[in-house]
Amino acid sequence: MRDFVCNVWRDGFWRIVVMRNAIAEVVRIKGACNAGYRRGDKIVVNLDNACVDKKQSGNLCIFALSAILANMSRIRHEERILASCPDPATGFGGNVIFEVMKGDSEDDSASRSK
């Protein structure tokens, strides 16, 4: 999979930024989540190989993941969006809201001054 690359102005320099991860963090829960999510839990998707990073991620609910993945492609660098799992929290389950963003790693060798 190709890298997501953009130029960002930081600390007086233009820097080439490679966005390698998409991170979804639980920010709000209504009811009790059947997957056991709690505020602060994360799902990390490696954009290089399009796989969930199991070492950095907690539980993986396939229904929540579908909502996260559907919104992930619309995010630009340093932009954050909210994604909601499809459970309406009207029965035994709970509705979980994730904040989704793309992580980055800077290529300092490619930095150039203004």
- Residue 102: phi and psi, rounded to 5, are -105, 130
What integer pLDDT is reported at residue 98 of this predicted model? 95
What integer pLDDT is reported at residue 102 of this predicted model? 84
Boundaries of every domain in the chain = 20-103
Give the torsion through C-alpha atoms of 13, 6, 103, 28, to 10 deg.
Answer: 110
pTM: 0.71
Angstrom distance (rounded) from CA 91 to CA 96: 14
Per-residue pLDDT of the chain (114 residues; tens, 9 = 90+): 344 555 566 677 776 656 578 899 999 998 888 889 999 999 988 877 788 888 888 888 888 888 888 888 778 777 889 999 888 777 777 889 999 998 754 443 333 333
What integer pLDDT is reported at residue 100 of this predicted model? 92
Number of alpha carbons in the 13 Å side-chain half-sphere of residue 108: 1
Burial class, 1, CB count within 10 angstroms (exposed 0-12 / middle 13-18 / buried 19+): exposed
